[in-house]
Amino acid sequence: MTIDIKGIVIICGNYGSGKTETAVNLAITRKKGGIDVKIADLDLVNPYFRTREARVFLEDMGIEVVLPDEKYMHADLPIPTPAVSGIITQPSELTILDAGGDDAGVTVFAALADYLCKKKIHMLQVINLFRPFTGDVGGCIRIKEEIESSSKIKITGLVGNTNLIDETTPEHIYKGYNLLKDVSDETGLKIEFITAVSHLIPQLEMDRFTCPVLEINRKLNPPWKRI
């Protein structure tokens, strides 16, 4: 199964769920699939894992990367820029908007409402079983409702990104997928895809999944791993 999602896609989720790594790898995969891709870094909350950290790699692939103005690069205010509104009014085949974590991280979309209301939007909630507040169905739904309330946009699909970074095993991914299925059953939302790091792909029993698997090749490192 392949991921064929197109249009304007907002990647959201709770803090530390792996939204940005998911957004970056989705952009790379779809670009390799032959479609035009743009990605905007709207994460004004998390100072460590941001799309801008992978900017050079993405641009070398021909992916347009839109960042906040230099004076807002370390800001925590939801300030949309003309460049961001521009890729919404003139989107590529796939335009990815990488949001900040939790309900606070998506308030920027309320400021972009005049642009977004005229477009069909896919808003995908990234769920990592091992992050706070998303270890069960109730917690995932609470995060969903908080994000929808702050962004004024309804979530349209689910993404599973269950991992423990370097300690992740196939069993962790299976367990995360089972949670995702339960959330899907409870909410009626489609599972768009799940993720798995590249070295685990050969170890997975793919027939367990009824959705595509996005291969993750990490482009972002936590500060404790940077030289």
Residue 189, both tokens: 């939302």
DSSP collapsed to 3 states, the chain: CCCCCCEEEEEEECCCCCHHHHHHHHHHHHHHCCCCEEEEEECCCCCCCCHHHHHHHHHHCCCEEECCCHHHCCCCCCCCCHHHHHHHHCCCCEEEEEECCCCHHHCHHHHCHHHHCCCCEEEEEEECCCCCCCCCHHHHHHHHHHHHHHHCCCCCEEEECCCCHHHCCHHHHHHHHHHHHHHHHHHCCEEEEEEEEHHHHHHCCHHHCCCCEEEECCCCCCHHHCC
- In a domain, residue 178? The reply is yes
- In a domain, residue 79? The reply is yes
pTM: 0.90
* Local confidence band at 48 (pLDDT 50, 70, 90 cut-offs): low
**Structural domains of the chain, count:** 1
* Local confidence band at 67 (pLDDT 50, 70, 90 cut-offs): confident
- In a domain, residue 226? The reply is no
- In a domain, residue 2? The reply is no
CA distances from 182 to 54, 79, 86, 135, 214 (A): 33, 36, 37, 12, 20
- In a domain, residue 224? The reply is no
* Cβ–Cβ < 8 Å for 160, 195: yes
70: pLDDT strictly greater than 80 = no
Q: Report the distance separating Cα 186 and Cα 182, nearest Å.
A: 6
- In a domain, residue 43? The reply is yes
CATH number at 212 reads 3.40.50.300
Q: Report the distance separating Cα 74 and Cα 147, nearest Å.
A: 22
Given the DSSP bridges, would you call strands 37-42 and 94-99 parallel, antiparallel or unpaired? parallel
Residues with Cβ within 8 Å of residue 173, at least 6 apart in sequence: 160, 162, 163, 194, 196, 200, 204
The pLDDT assigned to 226 comes to 41
Q: Report the distance separating Cα 108 and Cα 98, nearest Å.
A: 11
User: What digits encode the pLDDT tens for the residues 103-123?
Assistant: 888 888 887 888 888 889 999
* Local confidence band at 227 (pLDDT 50, 70, 90 cut-offs): very low
Residue 124 structural domain: 7-219
225: pLDDT strictly greater than 60 = no
- In a domain, residue 139? The reply is yes
User: What digits encode the pLDDT tens for the residues 119-165?
Assistant: 899 999 999 999 999 999 999 999 999 999 999 999 999 999 999 98
Q: Tell which wins on pLDDT, 218 or 154.
A: 154
- In a domain, residue 15? The reply is yes
The mean pLDDT of 13-30, rounded to a whole number, is: 93
Name the maximum alpha-carbon separation found in the chain: 48
